[in-house]
Amino acid sequence: MRLSILLILITSMLFSCTNINPSNNAEDVTNLTPEKAPITSCCKPTEKVSLTNIPSESIFMLDDTFKTQHNTDFQLSTLKGKPTVIGMIFTNCTYACPRLTSDIKNISKNMGIRKDKVNFVLISFDTERDNPKQLKKFANEMGLDSEWVLLHGTEETVRTLSVMLNVQFEKDADGNFSHSNLVSVLDKNGVLKYQKEGLEAEHKETNSTLLKLIL
Amino acid sequence: MRYILILLISATFFGAAYAQKKVVNSEKKMLVISKGTYKPFFVTKSNKPIPVKAFRMDETAVTNSEFLEFVKANPEWRKSKVNRLFADTNYLRHWENDLSIGKSNQNIYHSPVVNVSWFAVQSYCKWKNKRLPSIAEWEIAGKGAPKNIKYSSLTDYILNWYKRPNLPVLPNVKSTYQNIYGLYDMHGLIWEWTSNFNSYITSTDSRGNNSDDQKLFCAAGSLNVVDKSDYAGYLRFSYRGSLKGNYCIANLGFRCVKNIN
């Protein structure tokens, strides 16, 4: 009898072993990924956003979920319908970032009454410190009106977006970020149309591009 | 009778467990790279040496055969279906078609897969429950001294490789040297993608523009380079800087890494 109990114990142990050791995680992932699914940085299927009628080169294809400064979920495809100005920043930045933000504020100002026909988006490199609360504080300090969207994402999502926008960045040993200063303009469908590098750059063309894209 | 039955049942489970083990064994071998410090190639006041935790790294680069399994399981990564945003027109151009490397290409089944974009290889590693190495991780692993070849210095060895034109047929993995970590072909076969290839090595309060490139590559600015004799490292640094996420290049492949828990 003791022998049989022992055997049952051994077999059940083996059984549990095989259970906790799925042979192929990959299969689970593939089953979940429908054909032609937008490619996400996290291989998850999309359910919430319909990407029909969006060109395949649209940045909205990145369907990861961000958090806004109001702590609500946000996907880039929400920006559909208006052209978008995007800057990548971090709020602890003492020099370049407020200036990049000011540059985008100027672009907004130069749009005049038509500024509400454009999305203004800032995305933070600093996935650790720039939580929604900090982003809200920054928005207030910089005097950004309520139409501006400030986004917090995971390290991977932010890296993927930076690659899509050709923004170079690196975290330094002191927790700050070295990065290129790039203002990107997307059309109404999220397709990258124009980029301008540099701080206090001449943004005449940024504005004229936006005016064309509004139509 | 009951004992026999139980024995039979347990034997079945042993069999099942054995089969499981076989599956695990067919996985790519990974080797431990102990923790270290990566000195960024270009020194400024803000980029200090980066401490790197120990991690596991694929023994070899991912091969064409291995990548084919991924493409079979993930239709969106087939040649004909891939989104141009994520891979340019050179994507897997050396393959016969979507699901075949090609019978006439049997000599590259076990060669590193190349002509793959950053988005594609990132997705591959994720599919394997792994990730791409960072520049710091890759460079630490790549510094491992060769143990089965004669060489005067690793830099000389690498420069000798850089000097040679690409071979018409890319050799198999494990065809160059193995280093002290047990990794094969860290140099000498292909260039490899890193997760943060688009990093920007300059000071935080940069004014942007291209002045930083000048600082790095021209005249007095290049004095900030840590090891001026590491010309090979300098080339890797500028090579990475020239890439974009959807680029597919004939000598650029990858291998994955994993955290150690």
Give me the pLDDT at residue B2, please: 57
pLDDT band with cut points at 50, 70 and 90 for residue B137: very high
Strands A169-171 and A149-152: unpaired
Give me the pLDDT at residue A39, please: 45
* Amino acid (1-letter code) at residue B15: G
Q: Is B14's CB within 8 Å of A14's CB?
A: yes
- Residue A3 clears pLDDT 60, i.e. is over it: no
Q: Which one of A170, A192, A197 makes the best mutation probe of the B interface by having the most chain B beta carbons within 10 Å?
A: A170
Buried b (16+ CB within 10 A) or exposed e, A40-50: bbebeebeebe
CA neighbor of A76 nearest in space, from A173, A174, A196, A192 = A192
Q: Which of A125-134, B120-129, B176-185, B222-231 has the lowest mean pLDDT?
A: B222-231
Question: Tokens for B159?
Answer: 């420069």
* Amino acid (1-letter code) at residue B116: V
Q: Between residues B223 and A96, which one has the greater pLDDT?
A: A96
Which domains, ranges and CATH numbers included, belong to chain B? Answer: 53-199+208-259 (3.90.1580.10)
Give me the pLDDT at residue B5, please: 53
* Mean pLDDT computed over A32-41: 41
- Residue A23 clears pLDDT 50, i.e. is over it: no
B123 contacts in chain A (CB < 8 Å)? 39, 43
- Cα separation, A83 vs A184, in Å, equals 11
pLDDT band with cut points at 50, 70 and 90 for residue B148: confident
Q: Between residues B233 and B81, which one has the greater pLDDT?
A: B81
Q: Is A25's CB within 8 Å of B83's CB?
A: no
- Cα separation, B40 vs A85, in Å, equals 32
Model-level pTM? Answer: 0.77
Q: How far is B20 from chain A (nearest CA, A)?
A: 6
Q: Which one of A9, A14, A158, A164 makes the best mutation probe of the B interface by having the most chain B beta carbons within 10 Å?
A: A14
Q: What is the ipTM of this complex?
A: 0.76
- Cα separation, B86 vs A163, in Å, equals 10
Architecture of domain A59-214: 3-Layer(aba) Sandwich (3.40)
- Residue B10 clears pLDDT 80, i.e. is over it: no
Q: Is B207's CB within 8 Å of A96's CB?
A: yes
Enumerate helices (H) and strands (E) in chain B, giving the number of each. 7, 7
Q: Is B126's CB within 8 Å of A42's CB?
A: yes
pLDDT tens string A172-210: 777 888 888 899 999 999 999 999 988 877 889 999 999
Give me the pLDDT at residue A5, please: 47
Give me the pLDDT at residue B230, please: 75
Give me the pLDDT at residue B4, please: 57
Q: Is A169's CB within 8 Å of B83's CB?
A: no
Give me the pLDDT at residue B155, please: 86
CB count, 10 Å around CB of B182? Answer: 15
- Cα separation, A160 vs A58, in Å, equals 14
Q: How far is A91 from chain B (nearest CA, A)?
A: 12
In angstroms, how far is the first alpha carbon of chain B from the final one? Answer: 45
pLDDT tens string A98-138: 889 999 999 999 999 999 999 999 999 999 999 999 999 99
Give me the pLDDT at residue B251, please: 93
A158 contacts in chain B (CB < 8 Å)? none
Percent of chain A with pLDDT over 90: 56
The ranges assigned to domains in chain A are: 2-32, 59-214
Give me the pLDDT at residue A75, please: 96
Q: Please identify which residue in the block is written with the tokens 């996420």.
A: B245
